[in-house]
Amino acid sequence: MKKLVFLFLFLLSLLFFLNNNNKAPFRPLDLLPFLPPAISLPLLQSLHSAVDLLPSFVGSVASAENKLQWKGACFSQNQAWLEFHNQSQTKFGGGTLHIKVNKAHSWTCMDLYVFATPYQITWDYYFISREHTLNFKQWVNQKEYEFVKHNGVSIFLMQSGMLGTLKAMWDVFPLFSNSGWGESSNLAFLKKHMGATFEDRPEPWVSELNPDDIHSGDFLAISKIKGRWGGFETLEKWVTGAYAGHTAVCLKDSDGKLWVGESGHENEEGEDIIVVMPWEEWWQFEQTQDDSDPHIALLPLHPDMRKKFNETAAWEYAKSMSGYPYGYHNMIFSWIDTLSDNYPPPLDAHVVASVMTMWSHIQPAYAANMWNEALNKRLNTTGLDLPDVIVESERRGISFEKLLTIPEKDDWVYSDGKSTSCVVFILEMYKVAGLFDPIASSMQATEFTIKDAYSLNFFENNMTRLPDWCNKNDSVKMPYCQILGKYRMELPDYNTMQPYPHMNEKCASLPPDYLRDDYC
Ligand SMILES: *[C@@H]1O[C@H](CO)[C@@H](O)[C@H](O)[C@H]1NC(C)=O
Ligand SMILES: *[C@@H]1O[C@H](CO)[C@@H](O)[C@H](O)[C@H]1NC(C)=O
Ligand SMILES: *[C@@H]1O[C@H](CO)[C@@H](O)[C@H](O)[C@H]1NC(C)=O
Ligand SMILES: *[C@@H]1O[C@H](CO)[C@@H](O)[C@H](O)[C@H]1NC(C)=O
Ligand SMILES: *[C@@H]1O[C@H](CO)[C@@H](O)[C@H](O)[C@H]1NC(C)=O
């Protein structure tokens, strides 16, 4: 999941330079950027094919010596170079990007650019012929510093009609601004956009739990609220309507020892993979090393479900998946089910395509991995890159929006194995363990979000059967056991939905209510 953080850094930072005194002809289309996004974007889309709307990669600059030159949409003579500096007096210093734009075709036109490294993204637009500068105060870490030295800062020319969309993303900005990786901006965003409450709960904030009371199949709902993970989860929650951003599952072995299965555990190389690890190790890590201020709730299976749960089959599945990479391929597809009812504004399919395009230039290896294979599978093609996918899809009369809504199939195998995100890993386990019987064959686990998972009516519904250490000292009684965190975790619609065939394959979900149709 971590690499996706950087995708969403797309929403980072904005600077304004307004000026305007160039003598050249007037073109009505140049006014697009000044219309409200709700008008400019549809207009833009009707004037161009989807491929023309994608950001175009202009090049990258890594030094002051090798100047990059290109022709823009508005300015026909442009130049950029990068100067490293250490104004911030930090370990890796920062850099200034110089951009000289010249020869505008009209006095109302502008060029809109996005500048990106894998770690930060910013954007700017230019009206006037002169030299502009863009300051990267400091490189985030050694990796970014090395990346920029070798590969440079990537520059993308955007359709100027995208201006409104980029501006609207300003709202999401504090989640990622460096000083605001803090908890308070995440909480404020979730309160404002989802109506979350985050009430304080009494101590103990770490349960003195007894692992003997935890059983195979029990679900761990995790919510991270600080740091990069926190920022990413906040966006994911907002988009999907889930009140948790990560999940794991408990498993007991034949000796009664407790283990945790988790897709998206960071290994020593910094890769996110699927692991099955001893409970003690996992619990220790969450309490002492996870700097995202994780909040964790244990959702015990209902006793009838526990009886149904085939431990042997679950273990076989977990072992077969252990060590595989986290499911980047399909995670985005689990929330895009309907053409327009899954994108909170200002997001839309076009923004998704733009992010994918930019990502494929900044980190080509990841991009192929993350989207291209999944999109090819939807078209029954192999090896097409993103623009080709869009062209092929339009040729068949399928819009890109429509392509994104085609459901993922659980039996699709990617070049690096089956793709399972944190919650898909658990639901597939539930599937092989028999919890979805007798309709398991008509369920696609990859269509479930975290919210869909904890909404299933698989969990304990009798509070007197919860262990005695559960929510100890809290006067507000919750139907699950929060075991970590100072704010009370809320999971609206917890334990309410009976599974049905093709569940969640066509569901709308839009903030702030995330209302879904019955049997979607
Ligand atoms: C920037 O300055 C700081 C403090 O003087 C120093 O520790 C650091 O090594 C410098 N960084 C670079 C990249 O020169
Ligand atoms: C129970 O909650 C109260 C009020 O927050 C606190 O003072 C007390 O220490 C808590 N008891 C335990 C055992 O943590
Ligand atoms: C549980 O799963 C195993 C392995 O898939 C299978 O051999 C066994 O028959 C299953 N048990 C039941 C009760 O279905
Ligand atoms: C995909 O292509 C293969 C080989 O050309 C064909 O056998 C299969 O029926 C196609 N599937 C779909 C869903 O179009
Ligand atoms: C809840 O569980 C308790 C203890 O097992 C039992 O006595 C009680 O009847 C249960 N309540 C309901 C509504 O099932």
Q: Is the pLDDT of residue 173 over 90?
A: no
Q: In what order do the strands lie in the sheet with 130-136?
A: 68-70, 75-85, 94-104, 130-136
CA nearest ligand 3 atom 5, residue? 313
**pLDDT on residue 234:** 85
Q: Please indicate whether residue 510 or residue 226 has the higher confidence score (pLDDT).
A: 226
- Using the mean position of ligand 5's atoms as its centre, give its distance from the Cα of residue 228 in Å: 43
**pLDDT on residue 228:** 66
**pLDDT on residue 294:** 94
Backbone phi and psi for residue 208, each to the nearest 5 degrees, phi listed first = -90, 80
Q: Is the pLDDT of residue 384 over 50?
A: yes
- Are the C-beta atoms of 249 and 301 separated by less than 8 Å? no
Q: Please indicate whether residue 264 or residue 54 has the higher confidence score (pLDDT).
A: 264
- How many of the other CB atoms lie within 10 Å of CB of 136? 24
- Using the mean position of ligand 1's atoms as its centre, give its distance from the Cα of residue 178 in Å: 19
- Are the C-beta atoms of 132 and 101 separated by less than 8 Å? yes
Confidence of residue 174 (pLDDT cuts 50, 70, 90): low
Does ligand 5 have an atom closer than 6 angstroms to the CB of 464?
A: yes
- Using the mean position of ligand 1's atoms as its centre, give its distance from the Cα of residue 135 in Å: 17
Does ligand 3 have an atom closer than 6 angstroms to the CB of 320?
A: no
- Which of these, 233, 264, 239, lies nearest to 420 by C-alpha position? 264
**Three-state SS letters, 182-216:** CHHHHHHHHHHHHCCCCCECCCCCECCCCHHHCCC
CA nearest ligand 3 atom 4, residue? 313
Q: What three-state secondary structure class fits 28? A: helix
Q: Please indicate whether residue 73 or residue 351 has the higher confidence score (pLDDT).
A: 73
Q: Is the pLDDT of residue 331 over 70?
A: no
DSSP type of residue 473: T
Tokens representing 320 are 């077969």
Pocket test for ligand 3, best of 254, 311, 312, 428 (most atoms within 8 A of CB): 312
Report which bound ligand comes closest to the CA of 435.
3
Pocket test for ligand 2, best of 199, 201, 203 (most atoms within 8 A of CB): 203
Average confidence score pLDDT of the chain: 83
Question: Rounded to an integer, what is the distance from CA 438 to the centroid of its chain?
Answer: 33
CA nearest ligand 5 atom 7, residue? 464
Cα separation of 107 and 373, whole Å?
Answer: 43
Does ligand 2 have an atom closer than 6 angstroms to the CB of 473?
A: yes
Q: Please indicate whether residue 269 or residue 414 has the higher confidence score (pLDDT).
A: 414
- Using the mean position of ligand 4's atoms as its centre, give its distance from the Cα of residue 380 in Å: 6
Confidence of residue 160 (pLDDT cuts 50, 70, 90): confident
Q: Give percent of the chain with pLDDT exceeding 90.
A: 45
Does ligand 5 have an atom closer than 6 angstroms to the CB of 304?
A: no
Does ligand 2 have an atom closer than 6 angstroms to the CB of 475?
A: no
Cα separation of 202 and 485, whole Å?
Answer: 10
- Using the mean position of ligand 1's atoms as its centre, give its distance from the Cα of residue 85 in Å: 9
- Are the C-beta atoms of 410 and 423 separated by less than 8 Å? no
Q: Give percent of the chain with pLDDT exceeding 70.
A: 81
- Using the mean position of ligand 1's atoms as its centre, give its distance from the Cα of residue 88 in Å: 8
Q: Is the pLDDT of residue 359 over 90?
A: no
Q: Is the pLDDT of residue 6 over 90?
A: no
Name residues contacting ligand 1 (CB within 6 A): 86, 89, 91-93
Q: Read off the pLDDT of residues 467-505 as tens digits, 9 standing for 90 and up.
A: 999 999 999 999 999 999 999 999 999 999 999 999 888
**pLDDT on residue 389:** 86
- Which of these, 130, 129, 148, 131, lies nearest to 139 by C-alpha position? 148
Cα separation of 95 and 140, whole Å?
Answer: 12
For residue 481, what are the CA distances in angstroms to 47, 212, 304, 338, 454?
A: 54, 15, 19, 34, 13
**pLDDT on residue 357:** 74
Greatest mean pLDDT among 186-200, 341-355, 486-500 lies in 486-500
**pLDDT on residue 423:** 92
Confidence of residue 14 (pLDDT cuts 50, 70, 90): very low
- Using the mean position of ligand 1's atoms as its centre, give its distance from the Cα of residue 138 in Å: 11
Average of pLDDT values for 313-326?
92
Q: Please indicate whether residue 403 or residue 433 has the higher confidence score (pLDDT).
A: 433
The lowest-confidence range among 92-106, 224-238, 279-293 is 224-238
Cα separation of 439 and 431, whole Å?
Answer: 9
CA nearest ligand 2 atom 10, residue? 203
- Using the mean position of ligand 4's atoms as its centre, give its distance from the Cα of residue 379 in Å: 9
- Using the mean position of ligand 4's atoms as its centre, give its distance from the Cα of residue 384 in Å: 16
Cα separation of 515 and 508, whole Å?
Answer: 7
Q: Is the pTM of this model over 0.75?
A: no
**pLDDT on residue 168:** 65
**pLDDT on residue 35:** 64
Q: What three-state secondary structure class fits 59? A: strand
Average of pLDDT values for 8-22?
27
- Using the mean position of ligand 3's atoms as its centre, give its distance from the Cα of residue 426 in Å: 18
For residue 12, what are the CA distances in angstroms to 121, 172, 204, 226, 462?
A: 5, 8, 37, 17, 45
Average of pLDDT values for 275-303?
94
Average of pLDDT values for 361-370?
67
For residue 507, what are the CA distances in angstroms to 84, 240, 342, 428?
A: 48, 11, 8, 20
Q: What three-state secondary structure class fits 303? A: helix
- Are the C-beta atoms of 224 and 245 separated by less than 8 Å? yes
Q: What three-state secondary structure class fits 425? A: helix
Average of pLDDT values for 265-290?
88
Which ligand 1 atom minimizes the distance to the CA of 86? 1
Confidence of residue 24 (pLDDT cuts 50, 70, 90): very low
Q: Please indicate whether residue 48 or residue 392 has the higher confidence score (pLDDT).
A: 392
Average of pLDDT values for 324-338?
70
- Are the C-beta atoms of 334 and 427 separated by less than 8 Å? no
Which ligand 2 atom minimizes the distance to the CA of 473? 1
Average of pLDDT values for 130-147?
88
Q: Read off the pLDDT of residues 404-459 as tens digits, 9 standing for 90 and up.
A: 888 888 788 888 777 788 999 999 999 999 999 999 999 988 888 899 999 999 99
Report which bound ligand comes closest to the CA of 148.
1
Q: Please indicate whether residue 190 or residue 159 has the higher confidence score (pLDDT).
A: 190
Cα separation of 303 and 299, whole Å?
Answer: 12
- Using the mean position of ligand 1's atoms as its centre, give its distance from the Cα of residue 84 in Å: 12
